[in-house]
Amino acid sequence: QQCREPLTEGQLSIKAERAGPNKIWHAHCFVCGVCRELLIDWNYFFQDGVIYCGRHHAELLKPRCAGCDEVGRNIIIIITIRRNIIIIITISHN
């Protein structure tokens, strides 16, 4: 699928069901479309014709914070000034 080269008999290949019927890759071509790392342990995502590792697929859904390297997290800070005064601050990484 990736390289468009034919598969030969006995060659190691990967059939990725999530990509659709009859989608087959050479084992060495089954890589993330962003980082080009081999996708091992069948941990892959398929979207818009591209295979992704978990990290880069998550970044499609929500951007990654440059400061903490987390995906789309909200941080809630609760500050108590006095017994009856509480300030709640939400910082969004989105």
Using the 8-state DSSP alphabet, how is residue 56 labeled?
H
Q: Is the pTM of this model over 0.85?
A: no
Please give the CATH topology (third level) of the domain spanning 1-58.
Cysteine Rich Protein (2.10.110)
Nearest to 71 by CA among 52, 58, 80: 58
Which of 5-9, 15-19, 54-58, 77-81 bottoms out in mean pLDDT, i.e. has the lowest? 77-81
Rg (CA), the chain: 21
What confidence tier does 23 reach under pLDDT thresholds 50, 70, 90?
A: confident
Domain ranges of the chain: 1-58, 62-94
Mind listing the pLDDT tens digit for each residue in 39-68? 877 789 999 989 999 888 888 877 766 667
Q: Which residue has the tokens 């989608």?
A: 23
Q: What is the pLDDT of residue 74?
A: 60
